[in-house]
Amino acid sequence: MTTLNKLWQRGCEFLGTDYAILGGAMSWVSERNLVSAISNAGGFGVIACGAMPVELLDAEIKATQQMTSKPFGVNLITMHPHLMDLIDVCIQNKVTHVVLAGGLPPADAISKIKQAGLKLMCFAPTLTVAKKLVRLGCDALVIEGAEAGGHIGPVSTSVLAQEILPHIIDVPVFVAGGIGRGEAIANYLLMGASGVQLGTRFVCALECQAHPAFKKAFIRASARDAVASVQLDPRLPVIPVRALENDASKKFTEFQREMIQKLDKGDVDLKEAQLQVEHFWGGALRRAVVDGDVQTGSVMAGQSVGLVKEEQPTHIIVSELINQASDFLARQ
């Protein structure tokens, strides 16, 4: 057994895969084509449910199962109004792993997933939350640093790894955020991680259905082009979003100002204002990924976007990561 296989054996056994590499769940990007390609390449694809209605998720799972016989997971957002129905769809379709994202998962959701025998993964932004999630029955954790694309927390991946990995040993922990090469994977495994999650690196996979203009923006970008959005008012607690700087970034700042003015005048209540802020990103992301509007759409990308140089088949991306990690470990 190679050093790499030993280091991520626990993660591979948990996922049921050859390699403990999770595909990050990216709305409009992580659908049947990319998910099945990652799983077929030996990794673990994850469907991004996002705001999908129940029927659409059901169809997406079934279509993915037609394209791969390997394990894959489904990422569900805890604030989805039909969360319990979405969990039912996962159970009915015999999905093996569910990833709950977007805040502390409700107890009834955890209970339903566990009782059905599915493996539950959750995101832990701090050590305190990580310990709580393990107590609640979470089977594995993902810790994602601020270098990641999309909605992010405030702490870098390297600091989170130091904070959490030495103390969470009861369940596998997967590290995410800013990972674009195998050497980084190897280092996090040496620190105690059971595996990793990559999103940005897979956007320019050949099988990914994102618009060519979206992919081209990734290939052209450098790490410093992927910037986090700014919160203007504590009443509108904006979860920062990391994306390539463009007109949409500027528009979001203007949009927040408009919402603040409406709040001050009493034209909207707080919950409605917060909801509209969240909806801004949903529509802007679809415009970029599906329509290819990379100026007024949101080109969500992690800082590892600077390491994405060309469009490649998924299995080549995975094998490059494996070779880089193996070569690095052989030199130690």
Quote the pLDDT of residue 158: 97
Task: For residues 29 and 207, give the distance between their C-alpha atoms in angstroms, rounded to a whole number.
Answer: 10
pLDDT band at 119 (very low <50, low <70, confident <90, very high): very high
End-to-end CA distance of the chain: 17
Whether the predicted pLDDT of 306 surpasses 80? yes
Higher pLDDT: 173 or 233? It is: 173
Quote the pLDDT of residue 300: 96
Task: For residues 250 and 263, give the distance between their C-alpha atoms in angstroms, rounded to a whole number.
Answer: 20
pLDDT band at 270 (very low <50, low <70, confident <90, very high): confident
The domains of the chain are located at: 3-209+307-330, 222-300
Does domain 3-209+307-330 sit in CATH 3.20.20.70?
yes
Mean pLDDT across 78-100: 96
Mean pLDDT across 187-196: 98
Quote the pLDDT of residue 150: 92
pLDDT band at 272 (very low <50, low <70, confident <90, very high): confident
Please list the residues that pair with 176 across neighbouring strands.
144, 197
Whether the predicted pLDDT of 66 surpasses 80? yes
Which residue's entry shows tokens 């880089």? Answer: 324
Whether the predicted pLDDT of 317 surpasses 80? yes
Contact in structure between 155 and 145 (CB atoms under 8 Å): yes
CA distances from 54 to 59, 60, 75, 76, 87 (A): 9, 10, 13, 11, 9
Whether the predicted pLDDT of 278 surpasses 80? no
pLDDT tens-digit map of 194-248: 999 999 999 999 999 999 999 999 999 999 999 998 888 888 777 788 999 999 8
Quote the pLDDT of residue 180: 98
Whether the predicted pLDDT of 53 surpasses 90? yes
Mean pLDDT across 119-139: 97
pLDDT tens-digit map of 4-14: 999 999 999 99
Whether the predicted pLDDT of 277 surpasses 80? no
Quote the pLDDT of residue 283: 83
Backbone angles phi, psi at 196, to 5 degrees: -135, 165
**AA identity, residue 119:** K
Whether the predicted pLDDT of 110 surpasses 90? yes
Mean pLDDT across 264-269: 89
Residue 163 CB neighbour total at 10 angstroms: 17
Whether the predicted pLDDT of 274 surpasses 90? no
pLDDT band at 282 (very low <50, low <70, confident <90, very high): confident
Whether the predicted pLDDT of 263 surpasses 90? no
State percent of the chain over pLDDT 70. 100
